[in-house]
Structure 1
Amino acid sequence: MRTLKKSETDVNALQTEPCEADPLAPSDFPAKEGLGDVAKEDYPKSTGRWMTMIAIVVGLGLTAGFVEVSRIKAQEAENLAQETQKNVAMLPLVDVAVAQSGPAFKSLILPGDTASWYRTILYSRVNGYLADWKVDIGDKVKKGQLLATIDTPDLDSQLVAARAELEAAKAEAKVRQADADFAKSSYDRWRDSPKGVVSDQEREEKKAANDSSLAKLNAAIAQVAVDQAKVDGLMTLTQFKNVTAPFDGIITDRRIDPGDLVTAGSSANTSPLFVIQQTDQIRIFSRVPQGVAERLTIGSPVKVMTADGSGRVYEGKIVRTTGSVDPHARTMLVEVVLPNKAYALSPGMYVRAEFQVAQSKSVVVPAAAILFRGKGAQVAVIEDGRVAFKNVSIATDDGDSVELASGIKVGDHVALNINNQISDGDKVEVNGSGKAQS
């Protein structure tokens, strides 16, 4: 009896088991009862060899790929090591600039106000009524030119009365003069009479009468002088009936009209007649900080610019200062004078005044040269290829450049944007791609 192999037994078992066809299986897939026949089929030996060869080829390919990747990584590691060694051996590259001398003068622009050379408010010196005005605002006038006339009825009557009193005083003086002459002649006769002809008492009486007449004459003469002075004073006041210009200038205000009551004086209750200003020269008043005021000198040039955007520049000079600092604002008032023949500037304008301020000796470096470390502001100076950090004192900072009061000298080569890893005394290489900045 033939003994069945295990595989055959399993196949027969599969064949004897009743089963139904799987409705979800593909139509071309063999039915379960046909699987035994498929398993009984023998594949050719050449198929196994091909599969072995394919496995060997794939394994060799993977091995070759692994070896190549390992070689590439090793090469990259070697290149990186060589580059690292090269970088370690190379000195740090720095850009440098040459420290320059600071300017002798520095511009300082401050606000200012314009004012006229002269400004006068004209008031009346007599009481009366305005008869007429001859000029109006904006008119240019000359010194002594008639501006207005005033009717003064009260003054006129006072002058008439004063003249009458003067004439009466003069007449009284003449009477006193005659009395004095008579008294003197009488006294002379009694004084020269022989002794015993007239008594001493009569002689003394004549002397007293002569002295009295002289005194009355002197009083009359003095009264004439008083009355004359009164007339002269009233005559002087009558000259102010005509209002004239005190200097060449421009009428900038008129506050009267014909018929207005005019009162003498310049009190708060008195209305002015005109305002006249002389503007052929203009004063500029500007307040400068106390630290700058001490470095400004009389006669220094000043440029004045208006705020109208015209770009016009006017040249002037400092003529005087107050010589004292305002304790509240810590500023000093400075006066600048400039010619204004074309009347381009007017009083009361806002302007900008550019002053030239004398500077102490200093050194200027680019802002990129300044370092702020634990010791404060420093500059890295390149000396013989090595870095030396110098402590510096900053005077002014303009943004792009910094003015140093101390720490380095003119001509020093300073490093720009130096690396924080560089320490004092380290060797560096100056960037040779261009000349040192100045």
Structure 2
Amino acid sequence: MASCSNPPEANNGAGQPQEYPVYAVQNSQATLLASYPASLEGEQNVEIRPKVDGYISQIYVDEGATVKKGQLLFKIDAPQYQQEVITANASIKSAEAEVNAAKLQVANITPLVKKEIVTGTALQNAQYNLQAKEAQLAQARATLANAKTNIGYTTIVSPAAGVVGKLPNKPGSLVSPSSPVPLTTVSNIQKIYAYFSFDEKQFLEFSAKYPGKSISEKIKQLPAVSLVLSDGMVYPEKGRIETVNGLIDNQTGSVSFRATFPNPLGTLRSGGSATLQIPVSIASALLLPQKATFEVQGRKMVYVVNEKGMVKGKEVQVMDLFAGNDYVVKDGLKAGDRVVTDGMGNLKDSVTIKPVPVTNGSAH
């Protein structure tokens, strides 16, 4: 019972060698996941701002509510525009009366000119006066239309379907078109854009790897991409990389890409962050189980087992990309090398063990 409760100890010269799981690294086809930090934005983010001065009298939605296009959001109390309507209506009536008087004057002078009782100049002056009065009437009607438009601006509706953001103002707050903070933001999140970047070297490698005469043609060759959320969960919907910025950022030396993900349940929200993963296929990769490695002063090490069962620590270099639970070895190992996959804390150089072959972490 005591021996079963303790980890196996390697043979140090006395007794039989202890068994340790050993994995033979081999070249094989692998799909790696290249990871990039991504920022999330809705398909459409619309700032809702007032077009007139006034006080908020009603707020018809709450933060996080889903709204339809044309749905009522806010009501602004602006009595000055109602007064403008009253004033404009009065101006129209006055202008209409003046136009009618001017028309009557033209009508009275016209026959007198034909009879040469008055000169044509008097008729021209009457006609000019009529035109001026008609212009004043048109101006009064335009003032009324503008006043009615301003009254229409006191009722604010959503210009798009989406989700309501923060509501910084409360009923009674004074707002104006010059207010620095919008009334709210409506985000259309039926689709979510994930923005990420390649550095210049990665961009050149991408351009060389994928076929196509243009960047847009190369993008079409990219596989579907995944999104890892901030809680570590993989978003269930796959996305596609659709666009790439045409310029390299002079300050960061990076090129911005945009991937689009469907968002039918509204799980993703604008302003969020995630990790975008692009699968990269490699025809021949030397795979090493992550659990077979350990760290020594910042170096990644493994215990290699020789033909006699003796172990020796060896540093390995691995790629930044992962193939599931495996590393891809760049240097330090070759195909056929055997490494210990468990219990490395009980080992040291020159210890002899009894290797137990495993495949993908499982014993034969």
* Same-fold call, TM cutoff 0.5: yes
1:139-154 aligned within 5 A: 139-154=65-80
The amino acid across from 2:188 in the alignment is Q
**Map of 1:38-437 to 2, 5 A cutoff?**
107-190=33-116, 206-263=119-176, 265-268=177-180, 271-294=181-204, 295=206, 297-299=218-220, 300=222, 301-356=224-279, 364=284, 366=286, 400-402=328-330
Q: What is the CA–CA distance in structure 1 between the aligned matches of 2:254 and 2:198, rounded to whole Å?
A: 5
Q: CA deviation at 1:397?
A: 9.0
Secondary structure of 1:298's aligned partner:
helix
Q: Distance in 2 between matches of 1:313 and 1:354?
A: 13
Q: How far 1:351 sits from its partner (Å)?
A: 1.0
Question: What's the secondary structure of 2:133's corresponding residue?
Answer: helix
Code of the residue aligned with 1:298 in structure 2: it is I
Label 1:185 to 1:308 Cα distance change in 2 as closer, same or farther (>3 A).
same
CA distance in 2, matches of 1:106, 1:211: 89
1:415 & 1:141 partners in 2: Cα distance?
59
* Contact 2:244–2:258, Cα closer than 8 Å, also in 1: yes
Between the aligned partners of 2:56 and 2:83, the Cα distance in structure 1 is 18
Q: Secondary structure at the match of 1:310?
A: coil
On the 8 A contact 1:279/1:346 being kept in 2, the answer is yes
Tell me the alpha carbon deviations over residues 330-381 of structure 1, each in whole angstroms, 9 at most, x when there is no partner.
111111111101111122222111225699xxx847599xxxxxxxxxxxxx
User: Secondary structure at the residue paired with 1:327?
Assistant: coil
Q: Is the 8 A contact 1:137 1:251 kept in 2?
A: yes
Contact 1:253 1:276 in 2 (8 A): no
**Equivalent residue number for residue 299 of structure 2:** none
Specify whether residues 367 and 320 from structure 1 end up closer, same or farther in structure 2 by C-alpha distance, changes over 3 A only. Answer: closer
Task: Measure, in 2, the Cα distance between the counterparts of 1:176 and 1:164.
Answer: 19
Residues 286, 328 of structure 2: 8 Å contact kept: yes
Residues 86-131 of structure 1: per-residue CA shift (max 9 Å, x gap): xxxxxxxxxxx9988x88x864211101111111221222222222
Query: Which residues of structure 1 form unaligned runs of 5+?
Result: 1-96, 191-201, 369-395, 404-413, 418-438
**Matches of 2:240 and 2:93, distance apart in 1:** 61
Task: Give the corresponding residue for 2:353.
Answer: none
Q: Which residue number corresponds to residue 393 of structure 1?
A: none
Tell me if structure 2 keeps the 8 A contact 1:173–1:224. Answer: yes
Q: Which runs of 5+ in 2 are unaligned?
A: 1-24, 208-217, 289-318, 322-326, 338-364
The alpha carbon displacement at 1:312 in A equals: 3.6
User: What amino acid is aligned across from residue 183 of structure 2 in structure 1?
Assistant: L
Larger Rg: 1
AA at the equivalent of 2:44: Y
Distance in 2 of aligned mates of 1:228 and 1:416: 91
Q: Indicate the SS of the match to 1:166.
A: helix
The match for 1:431 is none
Q: Secondary structure at the match of 1:254?
A: coil
Larger relative contact order (CA 8 Å, sep ≥ 6): 2
Q: Deviations over 1:376-397 (max 9, x none)?
A: xxxxxxxxxxxxxxxxxxxx79
- 1:156 is matched by which residue type in structure 2? Q
Residue type of the alignment partner of 1:323? G
C-alpha distance in structure 1 between counterparts of 2:137 and 2:123, whole Å: 21
CA distance in 2, matches of 1:128, 1:242: 11
Across the two proteins, how many residue pairs are aligned to each other?
Answer: 266
Preserved contact between residue 169 and residue 224 of structure 1 (Cα < 8 Å): yes
Give the drift of 1:318: 1.6
- TM-score, normalised via structure 2 length: 0.65
Distance 2:95 2:54 in 1: 29
CA distance in 1, matches of 2:226, 2:320: 24
* Identity of matched residues, %: 21
Residues 266 and 249 of structure 1: is their aligned pair in 2 closer, same or farther, counting only changes over 3 Å?
Answer: farther
Q: Which structure features the higher share of strand residues?
A: 2
Secondary structure in structure 2 of the residue aligned to 1:178: helix
Q: How far is 1:319 from its partner?
A: 2.0
Distance 1:298 1:215, change over 3 A: farther
d(CA) in 2 for partners of 1:275 and 1:314?
Answer: 25
**Whose helix proportion is higher, 1 or 2?**
1
Following TM superposition, the consecutive aligned residue runs of length 4 or more in structure 1 with deviations greater than 4 angstroms are 97-100, 356-359, 363-368, 396-403, 414-417
Deviation at 1:267, TM superposition (A): 4.2
